[in-house]
Chain A
């Protein structure tokens, strides 16, 4: 017990939030006291009580249950979007940095163009193309600009890796370019990419919440942003809905930011 307590004391606050978030994302739907879509019109917008720990919202849904289900959606969207973005970004960035010239110009050019839109405007523009935006569309929309950050990072790191002896040696030995990239370049990019991806998870979760808040989230799924949207529309009479749902978003984003900073301090030798 005391060892556990010791371990807990040494775990930074941000990491604890992140771990709690993922644990709740996995087990949330099982421990949720109610079905988050269950309609109970007799108990609409009730303040927190012992039957509904965080109160009820629109149509009498249990807010705690909705938040637990929402954690799962946020976790899925975050992991999938960041996963896709990291893979695409790393490959394109490594190509751009390694091959240079035209490849670099094309990839950097596309990245510049994507960044010439404010992120959210580009997301909405992509979602505007489908009749009924669902989870897949949301993920695609977020990945459309998600990869740029990782591509820039991978490109910058590859530029310096390309000149290092072990890469030159691999090239001199006649190892095919693909293998040089896969075996010698990309593994060395992972450290900085992991740090970036941690902060990136928070960014994506916030973006998902923001799009859901604007009414562009996946239709049926329970999301924090949609709950906050409902809460904002009844803010003056029933503030608890907006307080709890917005609090969940803010706390999670804070957790990923702090964890990203913490990882950077620990893993990036240049900062020591």
Chain B
């Protein structure tokens, strides 16, 4: 299909503005740009058709199954969108007088208290724009804590090799040296490796629990105790919070600060580039280092993003939490875990689970043996699934599993869907044995076929 710029025709315009009924005033010359901005010119009909055409090429959770592991692509209830669309929320300016923003501030306060309860933290900021930004903010809290105590020898952050790539990236961006520790045979933190890595130079540990292979680390209390004993702090990556809401709290596991991907766990449509919200919670002793928002009128602004962050994502999260309530939130996690185990059981005769035991909200398949047998890779299977009308799982992550496919069905899928999905996986696996070439070149029924990722990376055409 054409780009919006290719549809542009000079003179086509949107006539949404009423005629000018005040005196025309020229802007000061210093504020004028030298050339006209490159904006497409389209009529409203053309614009509407452009976006409708785009919409038809997109596959989202509203189209069907979307098991993109670690991304929590759950269905987002309409009521969350309706609340976020209320004019009182969408029409407000962050610098409006306090009397006009009372409702918005109430949303932030209530959302903070509920999320503090869910995470076991004492204080919270909503400024970070999404997960990685939340990590960055959280690790800066840790850094500020050590610096404020004059404990400047702590230069290292420990990260397990199963971590999301954002963890080591965050530690490095905060100026820390990243110490990678190998996972044990069971996919969890190897206590001996952790002990060997800890020392007077340890600033902290970054950990996801359940981890990226979908396993809850049974040694979590010992892990956080060891880090604290060495003088470090513990950072909880909330990427997998959907597995444990209302059952166990990062604060009770011994973590000192945490980020939560509100857009994932608390139902904001995501995956298209945002906006998200990486709310950061911390224990009371870290609270003095939290960013402070200008909107809340606190002295000593120290912000990681403008005003209160992506406020409407917080509105959706609050609506989601209040809708599900004290019974619904833990039930959502239970169902997410049940669905993952049900699907893993349905798939284990087809592909080998990387860790064949009870999982949490997601699990990883290891297609190494299947690839040896058929020559068909995890990538080929993922592309083949597209032709059967479902979104592929996450591929080649975590790095500790070769030929990995990582599935997170979420709580919003029915048993019937999970049965259908297992059947589709079976068909694709059989197809790979009968006609591997078909899968090497899949997808065949999508709007575009197999993109040449290698050519795109080696010789990208950045501008036509």
Partners in one complex: no
B residues adjacent to A (C-beta < 8 A): none
A residues adjacent to B (C-beta < 8 A): none
